[in-house]
Structure 1
Amino acid sequence: MYEALLSRRLRWAPMICCVLVAATGCDLTKLTAESTAGLFERAAPGFEEYWDYDLAGEAVPATIVQLEGILRVAPDSDPLLTQLSQAYFGYAYGWIDVDVEALEFEGKYDEADVQRRRARTMYLRSKDLTMHRIALVHPGVYDASKGSIEELEAWLEESFSEEADAPMLLWAGQAWGAYINAAKDDMVAVADLPYAKAFVLHSIALDPEYYHAAGYTFMGVATASELAADLDAAKAYFEKALGVTERRALMTQVNMARYYAVQAGDRPLFDELIAEVLEAGDVLPEARLSNRMARARAELYTANVDQLF
């Protein structure tokens, strides 16, 4: 009798599940997408601690394609938008930009331009994803970004006051700034640099230590790269980043060498910073992959130092 009763109950189970899903408006596909996005977010530190720079670079494109597919199902998922925007930025910055510089050092400018256009597209996608993420909680971001720089700064001040707001502002500003750097021949894009800096500066105001003081490093690079650059201000930004990280986040040193020391014509400082990167051990496990990226750049600059000075 029990088996017959159980059989009848199980026979009705699929229909009951369908009724429950319909009644609650639940989208199982979207739930699965959200769950997968959360899994990627929780797994992210494992990638940042990975040790093989080349293998990581081969893996990122597949991750991007997979995340883009999931985004179709859950376009407003905060963890998904976060991971995908960072994946685009990380791949462009960590691998494609290195290829661009290597090709330019070899005099292969046409090939370098092809890769630069790829990086530019990825930075723009990263920026757009992060701006969408911001717009989900602060819809005024698009209008604020179209006004004057003073209006944007006031809007940022009014809209973001918590330390937890710093990450999205940093990633938006970094991606925007990197896009501008990859589109230097586009004067319309270049004119937007103050807007990118405004996002990063407000991020720093909320949490200067976030992501190994990446905001200070960004500002050092951006300031040193401007026409009539204020090199003293650029140096101060880099030194703040070095202080916060206790010189363990090596992208700061390699960027200070490439953008500040080269601009200042300070070869001894350049050599000192590059040597520091090349001689460092596993000084920051939670940023192991980033430090491997720094080493790849340091090796490239060492091999082509005569073209920099």
Structure 2
Amino acid sequence: MVFVSWPLMVLLAVALSGCSPRHLVINSLASELAGQSQGAENDPELARDAAPFYFKLSEAVLAQTPGHGALAEGLAARMTEYTYAFVALEADRLEAQDSAAAHRLRQRAAALYQRARNHAITALEQRHPGLVQALANPQAPLRLAPDDVGLAYWAAAAWGSWIAQSKDQPDVVADLPLVVRLAALADASAPGWGNGALTSLRATLEASRPGGDKAQAARWFDEALHLAQGRSVAAFVAKAEGLALPAGDRDAFEQLLQQALAVPDATSSPLTLQNQIMRRRATWLLEQSPDLF
């Protein structure tokens, strides 16, 4: 969920004009795109409308600079965020009124999550050849470097979300243990990464996997809330949906969502846009609470 900056447009114009060595300009363009973030944006609709151009431009540049891990990470992150905020959540809202439209949106969400996952996994495989195959072997020794963790987080987040949208495809669902292991490897390399975002992802995966340890998931959710220091709406919503809802605990569910709505706004915070979107989610979930329990 990004806008394209003026410096980036200048770089794009130079690249198209052929006035500079092409590979230098493309690498500069890739780095500029990698740094594009609209976390502090406070208009979700504006961010939504700006995203597709960023995606297509970034994919075109990444095709020319396949080793640019920062761009692969940024693209996977923005595409995953966009899909969750503007495709998957809309499918949930439409379900009661138009199940066919909701199904089409979920199919689109699955395809976009898969696309985001592929960008991140491809970059990780370039750094660690055979990584995905090794993830399937619990005995294979694996270790990620700290600068791999962002890629690993977004790969796991997109992959897990793809699985959640593809429950009727056993071959996709069968990869869940690989996602769980990838998130664990990332956490081992950089515990608490993303102010609790990685810990929250691990909690969500643990709570949702068959035979998952709900007590461990609860500990991770609480740790994620602690790491977020009351600044992340998503941390409260994740625990409400990942733990309280499946447990049938309406009081805890509604309390967590009320806490989510009470998270204060912070000027120019990188969480501004995410918090706005997750407040909408929390409000909608509270409205649906009587039907969910």
Normalised by the length of structure 1, the TM-score is 0.82
- The match for 1:54 is 45
- The match for 1:28 is 21
Q: Which of the two has higher C-alpha Rg?
A: 1
Q: Tell me, yes or no, if structure 1 residue 180 matches structure 2 residue 173.
A: no
Report the Cα offset of residue 260 of structure 1.
Answer: 0.9
Count of residues paired in the alignment: 274
Contact 2:66 2:123 in 1 (8 A): no
Query: In the TM superposition, what are the counterparts of 1:79-228 in structure 2 within 5 Å?
Result: 79-104=70-95, 106-145=96-135, 147-148=136-137, 150-151=138-139, 154-157=140-143, 160=144, 162-228=145-211
Contact 1:261 1:267 in 2 (8 A): yes
Compared CA separation, residues 88 and 137, structure 1 to 2 (3 A): same
- The match for 2:15 is none
Which structure has greater helix proportion?
Answer: 1
Report the Cα offset of residue 300 of structure 1.
Answer: 1.4
CA offsets, 1:180-234, max 9 Å, x none?
1111111121111111010101111111222221121112222222345532222
Once residues 187 and 280 of structure 1 are traced to their aligned partners in structure 2, the CA distance between those partners, rounded to angstroms, is: 38
Amino acid at match of 2:35: R
- List alignment gaps of at least 5 residues for structure 1: 1-20, 22-26
- The match for 1:39 is 32
Equivalent of 1:256, from 225, 234, 239? 239
Contact 1:201 1:215 in 2 (8 A): no
Once residues 94 and 275 of structure 1 are traced to their aligned partners in structure 2, the CA distance between those partners, rounded to angstroms, is: 20
Amino acid at match of 1:87: R
Structure 2 SS opposite 1:183: coil
Q: Tell me, yes or no, if structure 1 residue 287 matches structure 2 residue 278.
A: no
Over the matched positions of the two proteins, sequence identity in percent amounts to: 26
Amino acid at match of 2:148: D
Once residues 215 and 192 of structure 2 are traced to their aligned partners in structure 1, the CA distance between those partners, rounded to angstroms, is: 21
Report the Cα offset of residue 263 of structure 1.
Answer: 0.9
Contact 1:174 1:218 in 2 (8 A): yes
Amino acid at match of 1:38: S
Report the Cα offset of residue 245 of structure 1.
Answer: 1.3
Contact 1:166 1:206 in 2 (8 A): yes
Contact 1:274 1:302 in 2 (8 A): yes
Contact 1:217 1:237 in 2 (8 A): yes
Normalised by the length of structure 2, the TM-score is 0.87
Once residues 114 and 64 of structure 1 are traced to their aligned partners in structure 2, the CA distance between those partners, rounded to angstroms, is: 21
Report the Cα offset of residue 79 of structure 1.
Answer: 2.4
Report the Cα offset of residue 283 of structure 1.
Answer: 4.6
Equivalent of 1:243, from 215, 226, 237? 226
- List alignment gaps of at least 5 residues for structure 2: 1-17
Compared CA separation, residues 59 and 124, structure 1 to 2 (3 A): same
Contact 2:31 2:71 in 1 (8 A): yes
Once residues 279 and 96 of structure 1 are traced to their aligned partners in structure 2, the CA distance between those partners, rounded to angstroms, is: 25
Report the Cα offset of residue 69 of structure 1.
Answer: 2.2
Report the Cα offset of residue 142 of structure 1.
Answer: 3.8
Once residues 258 and 300 of structure 1 are traced to their aligned partners in structure 2, the CA distance between those partners, rounded to angstroms, is: 12
Contact 2:41 2:272 in 1 (8 A): yes
Report the Cα offset of residue 280 of structure 1.
Answer: 2.1
Contact 2:106 2:165 in 1 (8 A): yes
- The match for 1:305 is 289
Once residues 265 and 230 of structure 2 are traced to their aligned partners in structure 1, the CA distance between those partners, rounded to angstroms, is: 12
Amino acid at match of 2:250: R
Compared CA separation, residues 66 and 165, structure 1 to 2 (3 A): closer
Contact 1:29 1:73 in 2 (8 A): no
